Amino acid sequence: MVVSSILRSQLVQSTYTVNIPQSSSIACNESASSQNQNLNIQRGLLWGQTSAVSKGATVNYSAGNMSFAATWNDGFDSNKMNWLGASGTYQLNTKENVTLSWVGPVSGNSQNTYNTPLLQNNSQTLNAIYTYSADRWFIAPYLQYTVVTKNESIGITSQSQAYGAALLANYRFVDTNWEGVGRTKISLPFRVEYIKEQGGNQGDPNSILYGPNSSAVSLTLTPTIQVDQYFARLEGSLVQIYQAQPGLGFGSNGTNASQYRIMLEVGVLF
């Protein structure tokens, strides 16, 4: 259950929002939720470096063309409240804005599980995001930098870092009203990503990507149709890995360098 409180001041035209006990990540450009919050059904490579939802609190403040957020949470669902984060957004005009964000732990944590991977849960992440939104086009390129510092006391034997770049975009076709069908909206979202890891130790099963000096490229296309409150999305995606460490790639043995996915999502909007 998420409790949200909002305080508004008409004098300074500002808004405060507090969300507890769950805190959505402010470290990326994609939400953990799906339809109406993300262009694609599945999230991307850069999103995979961030915690989707954490236990904690987030305070949001906006005034004029500026908005800020600060969070205190447990990172990758570690139950240790040692993560802090902050973001700031500047509204350039009615169609464009830029955002800078940072999140990361202030102390080490030796937990290493599927939900709380050792390296990601001890990582610092920076993002620079530009967003353009108009009647037909939505375009959001962003850059991401992740670093995990060496900390042998919790099992991190070398420093690792990852550099990523992504382009999220969507083209919305003109809405139509089909007789006997209803109001129809068709859009063509797509995403292109690149990410590269530097550092780490060969043979170490812990990696922030697919092994030391590995990299990956992904392409995703998600044609979407909505008729009144009903929607359907068909998604095709490809991920290609380069220089993966054996066992950390795709497939049952972790040796495949590529993966194709096809998904279908249907639903009703309320």
pLDDT tens-digit readout, 55-64: 898 999 999 9
Our CA angle for 51, 214, 107, nearest 5°, is: 40
The count of residues in the chain is 270
Output the six-digit token pair for 26: 């402010």
Residue 223 pLDDT greater than 50, yes or no: yes
Out of 126-140, 192-206, 211-225, 237-251, pick the least confident.
192-206
User: For residues 209 and 160, what is the distance between their CA atoms, to the nearest angstrom?
Assistant: 10
160-196 pLDDT, tens per residue?
999 999 999 999 998 888 777 778 999 999 999 999 9
Q: For residue 215, what are the domain limits?
A: 3-268
DSSP-derived secondary structure letter, 156: B
| Domain containing residue 66: CATH number | 2.40.160.10
Q: Which of 177, 174, 173, 144 is nearest to 161 (CA)?
A: 144
Residue 4 pLDDT greater than 80, yes or no: no
Work out the pLDDT band at 33, boundaries 50, 70, 90.
low
> What single-letter amino acid sits at 181?
V
**Structural domain total, the chain:** 1
Has this prediction a pTM greater than 0.85?
Answer: yes
Specify the pLDDT at position 214.
95
